[in-house]
Every structure is written in structure tokens, then in C-alpha cells.
Amino acid sequence: MNQLFSRILVTIVALPLVLWLVYLGGWWLFALGLAVALVALHELYSMARSLRPLVLAGYAGAAATLLGAHLGGPEWMVGGFMLTLLLAFLLYTIAETRQRGTITIGSTVLGVAWIGLGIAHLLLLRDIPEHGRLAIFTVLLVIFADDTAAYFIGRLVGRHKLAPALSPGKTWEGFFAGTASGIAVAFFALYDQDFLSIPESIVLGAALALAGAAGDLFESALKRDLQVKDSGRLLGGHGGMLDRIDAHLFAAVAGLYVILAFGYG
């Protein structure tokens, strides 16, 4: 199947369902976030199998992180995340592995810090009083616009490599097109919404676009280090789940704290 057609088909099928669950929020969004986190962790730990991550500790830690964010906010989220370290240590003491503890435990905790905390911040965005639905939709739409513009402009006119050592396909032209698109989407999404002011919405759009680009490059760096091209094939032309959400994991964190810095939440 043509890769572009595959990307479009997956988007048409999956995007409405995801947006509907985000709209509903509550336990529906928690269930979606947990499913996405577990699939993405599975992909990461499969790529990093030579490091011998403690998979059960990672799954349990991610679930505790998301449950903490959903039930108790940031404080419980951090508590759930810290459980990962304890579980990883306990499992390492009984696991039959020749890998060094620093590497095994470190790779386990990294997965939960990156994926679990990233998705947990999306839950926190949705729970912002009065404006949570608008906040999370803005983040999702900005990253979608950023990714789409960067992909197409990069393919059409991209000539100057953004980070050739990490991701040879990404270009400065695509980066600037994606950033401009992200800022524009944030501006129009929040215009006259009694939420952020125009300057604040522009700052939010820029922060999301930059964080999204950083998240994309972060995954590229890990894949390059682990010598894999895609995290999986679950989503056809999009690659694996982790390939699809890498930008969101950084953007969710940036988006939440920019909004909190402006006095909301």
C-alpha cells in the first residue's frame, strides 16, 4: 500500500474516535490514554530489548502514573511515577538477567518518564477547570497541523537538513512551515474564546510547535541509538504508536505549564 495513502486512511479511521473520546473526557479518556501508553511502552521495550527493561514494572508504573493524574492531579501523578522505580528495583532483584542494573532499571524508568508522564499531562490538560476541553483540543490540533505541514512542505521543497545525524528526512523548511502552522492553529482555535489572550495564544502555539519538534527528534535519537527505523507497523504509514505520539509527549508537558504560567488551571 502506498505510504501516503496508508497515512491518510489511518487518520480518517482513527482520528474521529480519538477526538470523540477526548471530547468525552473522564474515564473514557483515561482508558484511551492507558491503551496508548501500554502499546507505546511495548514498542519501546521491544526496540530496547537488548537493554533488558523490566517490562512489568514499566507497565504498572505507567498505569499508576495515569491513574494518579486522573484521580488526584499532579501530586498523585508523581507518586504513581515514583512507584516505577521501586517496582523496577524489586523486580531486578529477582530477575535472571546479566544486564547491569543501571541500564535495566534506567531503561525501564525512562519509558515511563517519557510515555507515562507525557500522556498523563494530556489528562491534566483535559482537567483544567472550564477550559480543559479547549486546551487539549488546541494541543492536539496544533501538533496535527505542525506534523502535516512539516511533512508535506519538507517533501515538496525541503533542501536543508534539520538534524541529519538524527533524522535525515527532516528539513528546516518543514520545521518553519510546521511552526508557522502550529502558531496559526493556536491563534484561530483560541481567538475570542475567553481563555488565552492573542499574545498568549501565539506563545502557546510556538511552545507547542517547538516542543513537538523536540519530541520528534528525541524519538529519532533513540531509534538511531537502537538501530531501528520505526517503532512498529501498527498504524501503517504512520509507523508504530510511538511514532505517532512522539511529538505529543513533549507538547503536552509544554502546553500544560505554559497555560499554568498564564494563570489558568
pLDDT confidence tier of residue 177, bands split at 50, 70 and 90? very high
At 124-160, the pLDDT tens digits run 999 999 999 999 999 999 999 999 999 899 989 988 9
State the average pLDDT over residues 118-125.
98
Q: How much is the mean pLDDT over the chain?
A: 91
245-257 pLDDT, tens digit per residue, is 999 999 999 999 9
Q: 217: which 3 cell numbers? A: 527528534
> Distances from the Cα of 73 to the Cαs of 115, 125, 133, 134, 209, in angstroms?
17, 10, 16, 18, 25
Alpha carbon 217 to its chain centroid, in Å, reads 12
Total-model pTM: 0.92
For the chain, the domains span 26-127, 132-265
Say if residues 235 and 245 touch (Cβ distance below 8 Å): no
Q: With 60 as the cut, is the pLDDT of residue 237 above it?
A: no
